[in-house]
Amino acid sequence: MVKSEIRVLGVDDGQFVPHSKSQVHVVGIVFRGGYWLEGAMSTLITIDGFDATGNIAEMIKNSPHYRQLRVVMLNGITFAGFNVVDIKELNAQTGLPVIAVTNKKPNLKEVRAALEHLPESKKRWNAVLNAGELLSITTRDGKRKIYVETAGISRSVAIEVLRLTSTRSKIPEPLRVAHLVASGISLNTAQGCNL
User: Which residues here bind a copy of itself, judged by CB under 8 A?
Assistant: 23, 25, 27-29, 35-44, 59, 62, 168, 177, 180-181, 183-185, 187-189, 191-195
Q: State the SS3 of 76-103.
A: CCEECCCEECCHHHHHHHHCCCEEEEEC
Distances from the Cα of 160 to the Cαs of 3, 9, 140, in angstroms?
10, 15, 11
Minimum distance, C-beta of residue 171 to a copy of itself, in the bound complex (Å): 13
Alpha carbons 9 and 87: distance in angstroms, whole number: 14
Minimum distance, C-beta of residue 29 to a copy of itself, in the bound complex (Å): 8
**CB nearer a copy of itself, residue 24 or residue 131:** 24
Alpha carbons 35 and 143: distance in angstroms, whole number: 22
**CB nearer a copy of itself, residue 8 or residue 153:** 8
19: DSSP letter: T
Minimum distance, C-beta of residue 3 to a copy of itself, in the bound complex (Å): 19
**CB nearer a copy of itself, residue 2 or residue 41:** 41
Minimum distance, C-beta of residue 39 to a copy of itself, in the bound complex (Å): 5
